[in-house]
Amino acid sequence: MSLSGLIGSINTAAANTGSSHVNDNECRELLQACERLRSAYETPLDVVTRLYYSIPQAIVLRLGVDLKLFNAVVKLSGKSANGEFSVQQLAGETGAEPLLLARILRFLATMGIVREVSKDTFSSTPSTAAFISSSSLASVVIHGTHFLNILSKLPEYFAQKGWNSPNDADDGPFQFATGTQSHYFDFLSSEPYYQQAFNTTMTASFRRKGQSWFKFFPVEEKLRVEDPMAPLLVDIGGGQGEDILAFRDKFPHLPGKLILQDLPVVVEGIQGTISPVEAQGYNFFDEQPNKGAKAYYLRTVLHDWPDKQALQILARVRESMTPESLLLINEVLVPETNRSLSSVVADLAMMTSYAALERTQAQFEAVLNEAGFELVNVWRPDGVEVQSAQQAVLLEARLKR
């Protein structure tokens, strides 16, 4: 196909998106193909320009979220017969200066978030409502732009600290950037605005990758206890119980106690409300109160910690286990090579916020071995390739024998 023919086909496809029915997988493949095409034709200057412009775009989105501008745009567009509104009307809704609003709106119009109709007149687009205050994407914008503040200090951090991977959660890029000695999680607990944005981002549906672990792990075969009062499954750092409650609903007949553990501030509002699951306030750096459980479960816990602290967490689990106990770790394993953009961004986020990392299977095996465990198996959902970075897997480990 000629270049002009290719351009024509792309433009035709873009103009007819409303009439085509594309599922999520097809959409992902289409976008990946577009990305490969762009990479093939971009010059180094194009790359730098695109990356340079992406940072102001994120910040302007944050301005809109903080100002509740998108809420006001949706409201005004809904009240107008043609969906249009003036900058003066928006100023009345938000309390912001008209000149500033016009500058923000013009920027958002270049991103397709609003549409510029004429001078100082705009309308909403299908993307506008995605950023209203109640949307999870608004929280992602808040969390992501706050992360940019820390990220921008990385060059200074490495220049002063040396060019080595951070390895201490209490003395890493976050502490350097903010001038605090607090861990990132402790900082969040003192900043409700960022804590709420973090919580919403972490629980957003788009972050959950793949099937629930118990759909591809042989639960009936592996998780059995005879005593109904014995601990069957201890979900360590399990938040408000999304995973263990789903497990309970799937296997209501299994004997044994189901125990959810997280910091007291996390579980205090649900204690007594999720029966028969028992909610315990617990810090996973402390001694584990539940001895000899059949399985101890950690979902996306260890990727928040460098090896130094990961070994401390695992030591508390090891001390409580018997030879019959299992350690189940639900994490995304990153491939050794050819990582995706989302994979390397996640790894950078772990390094910057927690001095931690996203681990390969070999890195997990090394940590487990040092902590006194042996890896028994890596359970993957059906159809997931060994090197896939898009699906969470389940690592099954036991005490070294």
Active site annotation includes 303: yes
Size of the chain, expressed as the number of residues it contains: 401
Q: What are phi and psi of 179, to 5 degrees?
A: 65, 30
Q: Give the Cα separation of 66 and 163 in Å (integer).
A: 36
Catalytic residue, from 143, 146, 183, 303: name it. Answer: 303
User: Helix (H, G, I), strand (E, B), or coil: what is residue 394?
Assistant: strand
Query: CA-based Rg of the chain, rounded to a whole angstrom?
Result: 25
In the chain the first and final C-alpha atoms are separated, in Å, by: 62
Q: Give the Cα separation of 374 and 257 in Å (integer).
A: 25
Which residues contact residue 242 at a Cβ distance below 8 angstroms, ignoring those fewer than 6 apart?
A: 203
89, 78 Cβ separation under 8 angstroms = no
Q: Give the Cα separation of 401 and 391 in Å (integer).
A: 30
Helix (H) or strand (E) holding 34: helix 24-41
Helix (H) or strand (E) holding 78: helix 69-79
Q: Give the Cα separation of 213 and 250 in Å (integer).
A: 12
391, 384 Cβ separation under 8 angstroms = yes
Q: Which residue numbers are catalytic?
A: 303
